């Protein structure tokens, strides 16, 4: 949605956005999205200084946007104010790196074994907490060499529908094996997949207040994909945050860029979440349903950026099609980590407080495993509970060959 005076004047001050905000419920001092968004926006438009540290506490979950009865675009107002926010030096330096997971991934995967060892030590986490305010309780995901490639032509069938896979930073630098499983899952459902030569989607840049970097990444990614989209290929993502950015974020960031605005809208209209695509196959009766029966109890968590896409819970419905699988839809709110948010020392406790409802829901469900498509949601769940969390695509793929759950990873 374009931020304009009409959207601002549509705010009724009803506080529904505050009621939907996870931080507002978890942090007694947090003024809430109504204040940080439309209330302060009126003052910002008049040139009145309104900068506040509370802008940094916005999760960027877009729950306020979904709740607003008049589509005010609260999160966009906060994001623009966050981009102009001035941070103290240490937090600014930390967030500069957090805004660039692609750069971090390229550096850490030069010698991934050494990087993983260094990041996992108690000493390293202690010094990171003191020098750059990274929560010492957090553990970084393991890095590996970025070896995800488009399958060779001889392994595919030319008559199949071609898709362009946007892998995102986590799959590219941490779980390329997951990327290969997603390609295999698409292959058994009749698709040929090409891995896009793209950069970070830009969500971390936007979340950490670097709007100019987010715009630069949007332009690079559009340039890398627009020719394939013009040739009729659809884009598929397996990360809800990447999908949200491609569908709506590019258009918002580049709405005033005459050279990219139309291409951004085109990219958005041709981007599909992996489960959204497979669920469309299911609705059309063309999904490969040759699943082997398996006795499995799952709990499913829908990430905030999936809900913001307005496509329901497609993974929940797909997983229930596997014979013998029972799925508990947790519907327990935000997990609290919000990408890099929960890694920040000053926000760690807020992150865990927000996640408590989800942790309690998982403990009540007592599943064999938790399924969620967001990588940082997986990290938060494993950090806050004793249960393992994985991408639902792994579960669906293994259902075709009946392999036991223990060999998924």
Reported as a single tens digit per residue, the pLDDT across 168-177 is 999 999 999 9
Q: Residue 405's pLDDT is what? A: 59
Q: What is the pLDDT of residues 69-123, one digit of tens each?
A: 998 999 999 999 999 999 999 999 999 999 999 999 999 999 999 999 999 999 9
Write the CA distances from 338 to 226, 306, 325, 351, integer angstroms. Answer: 29, 12, 29, 8
Q: What is the mean pLDDT of the chain?
A: 94
Find out whether 378 and 363 touch, Cβ atoms under 8 Å: no
Comparing CA positions, the residue from 122, 31, 123 lying closest to residue 74 is 31
* % of residues, the chain, pLDDT over 70: 96
> Does the pLDDT at position 207 exceed 80?
yes
What is the spatial distance between Cα 27 and Cα 58, in angstroms, rounded to a whole number? Answer: 11
Q: How far apart are CA 374 and CA 402, in angstroms?
A: 24
Contact 22, 336 (CB under 8 A): yes
User: Residue 132: is its pLDDT beyond 60?
Assistant: yes
Q: How far apart are CA 213 and CA 217, in angstroms?
A: 6
The pLDDT assigned to 402 comes to 73
pLDDT tens digit sequence for 303-316 = 999 999 999 999 99
- The token duo for 389 is 């969390």
Alpha carbon 231 to its chain centroid, in Å, reads 27
CA distance 102 to 403: 33
Among 246, 250, 172, 170, which Cα is nearest to 216's?
250
CB 374 within 8 A of CB 338: no
Q: Which of 4 and 340 is assigned the larger pLDDT? A: 340
Alpha-carbon gap, residue 264 to 235, rounded angstroms = 13
Domains of the chain: 5-84 (1.10.1060.10), 89-131 (no CATH), 153-277 (1.20.1050), 290-407 (3.40.50)
Confidence of residue 166 (pLDDT cuts 50, 70, 90): very high
Per residue in 7-28, pLDDT (tens digit) is: 788 899 999 999 999 999 999 9
Distance of CA 11 to the CA centre of its chain: 28
pLDDT per position as a tens digit, 211-250: 999 999 999 999 999 999 999 999 999 999 999 999 999 9
Mean pLDDT of 139-168: 86
Cβ atoms of 322 and 296 closer than 8 Å = yes
Integer Cα distance of 370 and 358 in angstroms: 11
Residue with tokens 């949605």: 1
Please report which helix (H) or strand (E) contains residue 174, including its range.
Answer: none
pLDDT band of residue 408 (cuts 50, 70, 90) is very low
The neighbour count for residue 141, using CB atoms within 10 Å, is 15
Q: Is the per-residue pLDDT at 333 higher than 60? A: yes
Token pair of 54, please?
């509370």
Residue with tokens 């986590």: 170
Interval 180-189: pLDDT, tens: 999 999 999 9
CB atoms within 10 A of CB 20: 22
Task: Determine the pLDDT at residue 4.
Answer: 56
Q: Tell me the residue ranges of DSSP E strands in 113-230.
A: 161-166, 191-195
| CA distances from residue 384 to 128, 338, 345, 379 in whole angstroms, order as listed | 21, 14, 16, 9
Q: How many CA atoms lie within 13 A of 322 on its CB side?
A: 25
Q: Nearest-5° angle of CA 29, CA 33, CA 37?
A: 125
Above 90 in pLDDT, residue 404? no
């Amino acid at each position: 949605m374009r931020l304009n005076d009409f959207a601002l004047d549509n705010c009724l001050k009803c506080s529904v956005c505050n009621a939907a905000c996870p931080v507002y419920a978890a942090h007694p001092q947090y003024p809430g999205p109504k204040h940080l968004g439309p209330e302060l926006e009126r003052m910002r438009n008049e040139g009145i200084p309104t900068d506040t540290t509370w802008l940094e506490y916005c999760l960027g979950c877009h729950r306020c946007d979904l709740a607003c009865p008049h589509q005010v675009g609260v999160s966009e107002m906060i994001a623009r104010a966050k981009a102009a926010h001035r941070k103290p030096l240490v937090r600014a330096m930390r967030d500069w790196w957090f805004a660039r997971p692609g750069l971090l991934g390229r550096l850490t995967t030069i010698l991934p074994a050494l990087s993983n060892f260094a990041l996992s030590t108690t000493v390293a986490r202690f010094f990171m907490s003191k020098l750059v305010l990274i929560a010492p309780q957090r553990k970084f995901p393991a890095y590996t060499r970025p070896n995800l490639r488009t399958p060779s032509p001889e392994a595919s069938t030319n008559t199949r529908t071609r898709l362009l896979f946007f892998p995102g930073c986590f799959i590219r630098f941490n779980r390329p094996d997951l990327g290969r499983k997603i390609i295999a899952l698409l292959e058994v459902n009749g698709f040929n997949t090409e891995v896009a030569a793209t950069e970070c989607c830009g969500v971390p840049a936007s979340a950490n207040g670097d709007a100019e970097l987010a715009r630069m990444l949007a332009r690079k990614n559009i340039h890398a994909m627009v020719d394939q989209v013009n040739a009729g290929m659809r884009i598929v993502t397996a990360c809800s945050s990447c999908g949200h950015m491609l569908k709506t974020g590019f258009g918002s960031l580049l709405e005033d860029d005459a050279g990219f605005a139309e291409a951004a809208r085109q990219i958005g209209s041709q981007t599909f979440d992996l489960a959204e695509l497979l669920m469309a196959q299911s609705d059309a009766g063309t999904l490969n349903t040759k699943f082997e029966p398996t006795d499995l109890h799952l709990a499913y968590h829908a990430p905030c950026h999936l809900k913001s896409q307005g496509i329901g819970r497609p993974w929940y419905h797909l997983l229930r099609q596997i014979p013998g699988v029972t799925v508990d839809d947790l519907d327990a709110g935000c997990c609290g980590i919000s990408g890099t948010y929960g890694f920040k020392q000053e926000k760690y406790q807020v992150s865990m407080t927000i996640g408590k409802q989800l942790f309690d829901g998982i403990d009540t469900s007592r599943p064999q495993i938790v399924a969620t498509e967001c990588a940082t949601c997986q990290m938060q769940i494993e950090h806050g509970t004793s249960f393992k969390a994985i991408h639902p695509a792994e579960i669906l793929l293994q259902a075709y060959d009946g392999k036991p759950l223990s060999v998924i990873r």
